[in-house]
Structure 1
Amino acid sequence: MIPRWWIAVAAVLTLLAAFTVAYWSGRREGAARERPKTEAASAQAAVAGLEAQGARDSLQRVEVVVRQREAAAQSVARVTHKALLSEDAHAPLDAERAARLRAADRELCLAAPELAGCAADRNAR
């Protein structure tokens, strides 16, 4: 006959196997239920990463434009100062050159009437 302790060991092993199977099936079902939430969170994280990258890129482009604008303003200030200090700064323009400048201004106003001075120029004529 089989000793009693073999039966007890077999019963304990059977119970242990049953609990292990129940535990892992519960874990697998729980993971299956949580998978859509996990995928949604991953998608949101990816979108947030793309938005952050877009914000960094936009900031970088803005900084470049600001630096260009500042450099242009400095150049204009430098050239204006040099022009005001030149020896012919206060000499009147040659009539032919003044006529060419007025013609160029008229062409500019015809091409882009919203420019500053174009409406006043039309009213003065």
Structure 2
Amino acid sequence: MSKYNRLEHLKELHGKRKALTQEKVDKAIQRLIKARKTINFNSVASESGVTKKTLYDNKEIRERIENLRHQQSQVPTPSQVKREMDDNNKDAIIASLKRKIKRLEEENKELKEQLKINYADIYNQL
């Protein structure tokens, strides 16, 4: 029978817990990215079920979250992109609407002229 080494057993347990924590955090980050949610310590902690203290204490996890958070802050949000598109396209939209108004006014004028002709024809038939 081999001698039980408590220290080795504790190291083994610690390694397994650390690997499990890393796996939970990785899966949580993947889910957050797929859902297009913000990545920060609070969101990763609530999604993974790992405490914020653990996230902050683990150097690798901390750096990863900080890097992802920084990357997300550099990417404009959909509302920012839409606002920029609206500002950039505003002049084009205005020009397009002016052309449409002019076309509709011309069509309206032609229809009024046709209506006058038709009224004149009806009047002459009487």
TM-score with structure 2 setting the length? 0.46
Of structures 1 and 2, the larger Rg is shown by: 1
Q: Which has the higher contact order (CA 8 A, sep 6+)?
A: 2
